[in-house]
Structure 1
Amino acid sequence: MSGTTTSGRPAVLMSAASALTTLGAIPPFLLGAQAVAIRDDLGLGLGIFGGAVSLFFGTAAVATMTLSSRFGALSRRVALCVAGVLVAAGGYALSGLVQGPVSLLVAMVVLGLGNAACQATSNLLMSRGLPPGRRGLGFGIKQSAVPLAIMLGGLAVPTVGQVGGWRSTFAVTASVGVAVAAFALLRGGRWQRLAREGAGGDLDTDSPPTLPLLMAGLAITFASAAANYLGAFVASWGFEVGLSPTRTGLLMAAGSAGSILVRVFSGWRADRRFGANMPVVAAQMLAGAVGCLGLMVAEAWAVVGFGLLALSIGWAWPGLLLYAVARLGRDRPARASGFVQAGAFTGGALGPLLLGALSGQVGFPATWAVCSGLFVLAAALVVVSRRMFTADLRRRPPRDPLRYGRRYRTDA
C-alpha cells in the first residue's frame, strides 16, 4: 500500500486509536447502564429510550458511509479535532442541557456523529500509521474498545454515577473530548498530512471493488445485529433462567474480557499469517451461531457456558474483518473500512430494536434461534466476499503489492 507513514511508536499509536474508539463508542453503554435513573429523571418510556440508542448507531452508519472519504482527506490534526469537538458537544449537552425526549435524541445524533468521526480517524491511523507487520494487532486492540466500553459503562454506575449522578458520567466523557481537541490544536510542529484519497487519476483504477465491500458490509450488519442483541439481552435471559443479578453481571464482564483477549490474539496471529484472515472471521461467526443455539436451553449452566462462547469468540471478529478489508482497500482504506464500519453501526441500530421487539412477541429461545441464523448468514457472506476479493486481485493486480507481516501476498 502506498501513502505516507505517520511517525511515532506503534504501541503509542495503537493505544491512541483504541482510546479514541472507546471514547466514541461509550455513550450508548453509559445510557444503558444508567437506564433506570435516566428514564426516571427525563420521564422516558422504553420506546423513546431504545430509539435514542438506535438513533446513535443509525446516525453513525449514515455519517460513515457519506463522510468516510472526506476524513481520508483530512490531516490527523483536523480529524482529531473534529472528533473531540463532536464528543464534547454531545456529552456536555447530556450533562446539562437535556431535559426531555427531543433534546435527548438531538444529543444522541451529535454523539453518533462523534462516534463516526472517532472510528474513521482511528481506522486511518491504523491503516496509514502502522507498519504492515503490526496492523493486525493494531486493529485487534482498536476493536477491543467496544467490549471495553461495555465494561467501563458498567463500572461508571457505582463510581462516577454514584457520586455525581448520571449526568456527571457524560460530563467526564465530554471533558475527554475537549482534551482530544485541545491536544490536536496545541501539539507543537506540523502533523504529517495523510495522503488524500482520490487525489490523482490512477487511484481510481486501483480503488477497492464495490461488490465485495457490499458483501462484507452486509455480513457485519447481520452479525452485528445478532451480537448487539446478545450483549443487550443475555443478562435478562440469564435472570429469567435463575441467575442472580450479580452472576449475570459477572457473565457480562467475563464475556467482555474474553472478547478483548480473543480480538487481540486474533490480530496478533493475523500479523503472523500470510492472508487467509476472512476464513477465521467466518469461523468466529459460526462460533457465535453455536453459542446462540445453546442459549435456547433454559438452564443456568447453558446460559453461562454458551453465553461465554458467544460473547468471547462469537463476537471477536470486528477487528480482524476490518483489518482484512482495510488491507484490501489498496490506496483507499477509509472507503474500504467505511463499508464495514457502516455495516457494524447499522446492525447495532437494528439488532436490539428489531430482535428486542421479536423476543417480546415470541420469547427468548426463538429469538436466539434467529440470532444463530443471522450469524450463519453473515459467515456465508464473508466467504463470498473473500472469493470476490481474491478474484479481483488476480484480475487487477494492485499497483503496490499488499503486504502481510514481512511478505507480500494477494490473498484475503
Structure 2
Amino acid sequence: MTTGTASATAGGRLLTLAMATIMTMATSLPVFLVGGLSVQIRAEMAFDRTGLGLAAAAFFATSAVTAVAGGSLGERLGARNALRLAMLLGAAALLGIGLVATSWWHLVTLLGVAGVADAIAQPTSNMVVARVASARHHGFAFGLKQSAIPFAALVAGSAVPLVALRAGWRWAFIGAAALALALLAAAASQPITRMPVRAGGRWRPGQRRPLIMLAAVGLVGGGSATAMATFFVDSAVARGLSSGVAGIWLVAGSICCIFGVV
C-alpha cells in the first residue's frame, strides 16, 4: 500500500466516523431542543414541568424499547441505509414539531418517532465505529462518537438566544430539520469506507452478563446527564436567569462535556 493510498484510507475512515457522529447528533437533537426551548414551548402548549419530563421520557423510553430491533435493522440494511432511515425519521420529527405540533400529545408522539430514529442511529453508529476504527484507537473513536450527545445539547443551547428569542422556537426545529436533510444529502454523496464484517457466532454462557452490567451503568450515567440537559434551561429560568443566559450556560456545559468525552 502506498503512502497516498494509506492516507486516502485513513481519510475515508475519519470521514465515515465523522458522518456517523453527526448523524447520531442529529437524531438526538429533537429531545434536547425541546429541553432547551422548553420555556417557550410550555408557554405556548400550556403544560407543566411534569409534562416536560414525560415528553422527554417518551423519547428515551421509545429509544430503549426499540434499540435491540434498531441494532438488528442496522445489520440487515447496512450502516449507510440504516443511518439514512434514522436521519429521515429524525428530520420528520423535527419538522413535525416545528410545523404542526400544537399540543402536548403532538409533542409526545413526535418525540416517540425521534426515539425510534435514535434507536436505529445509536447502535448502527457504534457498529460503524467498531468496524472502521482500529482496536488501539477505539477509545478516541468511541469518545468522538459519544460527543454527539453533548454536541446536540450545545446546538439546543445555542438555539435559545440565536433563534428562539429572535424568530420563535418553531424556527429552531425547522432549521434543525433543514440541517439534518442537508447533512443527509451530503452523506449520500460521500463514499463510505467498506467495513470488514466479522463472522458471527452463538452467545456463550456468561457473555451477556458484562453487557447487562454496562447497560445498567449507562442507564445511571446517561440518565443523570440527559436529565440535566433537558431541564437545565427551564430550571435556570425558574431561578431568575433569562432564557438567553441559560442557553449560553448550557452551551458552556456542553463544551466542557465534549472535551471530557473525547
TM-score between both structures, scaled by the size of structure 1: 0.54
Q: Quick one: structure 1 residues 138 and 188, their matched pair in 2 at CA, closer, same or farther if it must change by over 3 Å?
A: closer
Aligned-residue RMSD, C-alpha:
3.2
Residue 90 of structure 1 corresponds to 93
Q: Does structure 1 retain, via aligned residues, the 8 Å contact 2:16–2:192?
A: no
Residues in 2 aligned to 1:74 and 1:196: alpha-carbon distance in whole angstroms: 16
Residue 212 of structure 1 corresponds to 210
1:123 and 2:126 matched: yes
Q: Quick one: structure 1 residues 128 and 260, their matched pair in 2 at CA, closer, same or farther if it must change by over 3 Å?
A: same
Residue deviations 1:38-65 (CA, integer Å, cap 9, x gap):
1222222333222111101111111113
Q: Specify which of 76, 81, 101 is matched with residue 78 of structure 1.
A: 81
Q: Specify which of 244, 254, 258 is matched with residue 256 of structure 1.
A: 254
* Structure 2 unaligned spans of 5+: 1-8
Residues in 1 aligned to 2:132 and 2:107: alpha-carbon distance in whole angstroms: 36
Residue 26 of structure 1 corresponds to 29
Q: Specify which of 135, 140, 155 is matched with residue 137 of structure 1.
A: 140
Residue 158 of structure 1 corresponds to 161
* Structure 1 unaligned spans of 5+: 1-6, 265-412
Once the two structures are TM-superposed, the CA of residue 95 in structure 1 deviates from its matched residue by 1.4
Q: Quick one: structure 1 residues 251 and 93, their matched pair in 2 at CA, closer, same or farther if it must change by over 3 Å?
A: closer
Residue deviations 1:312-369 (CA, integer Å, cap 9, x gap):
xxxxxxxxxxxxxxxxxxxxxxxxxxxxxxxxxxxxxxxxxxxxxxxxxxxxxxxxxx
Residue 4 of structure 2 corresponds to none
Q: Does structure 2 retain, via aligned residues, the 8 Å contact 1:92–1:171?
A: yes
1:187 and 2:189 matched: yes
Q: Does structure 2 retain, via aligned residues, the 8 Å contact 1:76–1:194?
A: no
The SS at the match of 1:195 is coil
Q: Quick one: structure 1 residues 80 and 196, their matched pair in 2 at CA, closer, same or farther if it must change by over 3 Å?
A: farther
**Paired residue total:** 253
Residues in 1 aligned to 2:133 and 2:165: alpha-carbon distance in whole angstroms: 40
Q: Quick one: structure 1 residues 190 and 35, their matched pair in 2 at CA, closer, same or farther if it must change by over 3 Å?
A: closer
Give the structure, 1 or 2, with the largest relative contact order (CA under 8 Å, sep 6 or more).
Answer: 2
Seq. identity, %: 27
Letter in 2 for 1:17: A
Q: Does structure 2 retain, via aligned residues, the 8 Å contact 1:76–1:192?
A: no
Residues in 2 aligned to 1:172 and 1:194: alpha-carbon distance in whole angstroms: 36
TM-score between both structures, scaled by the size of structure 2: 0.81
Letter in 1 for 2:53: G
The SS at the match of 2:102 is coil
Q: Quick one: structure 1 residues 88 and 133, their matched pair in 2 at CA, closer, same or farther if it must change by over 3 Å?
A: same
Letter in 2 for 1:143: Q
Q: Quick one: structure 1 residues 37 and 227, their matched pair in 2 at CA, closer, same or farther if it must change by over 3 Å?
A: closer
Residues in 1 aligned to 2:232 and 2:253: alpha-carbon distance in whole angstroms: 11
Residues in 2 aligned to 1:97 and 1:142: alpha-carbon distance in whole angstroms: 32
Q: Quick one: structure 1 residues 196 and 172, their matched pair in 2 at CA, closer, same or farther if it must change by over 3 Å?
A: farther
- Structure possessing the higher radius of gyration over alpha carbons: 1
Q: Quick one: structure 1 residues 88 and 135, their matched pair in 2 at CA, closer, same or farther if it must change by over 3 Å?
A: same
1:46 and 2:44 matched: no
Letter in 1 for 2:221: A
| Larger proportion of helix | 2
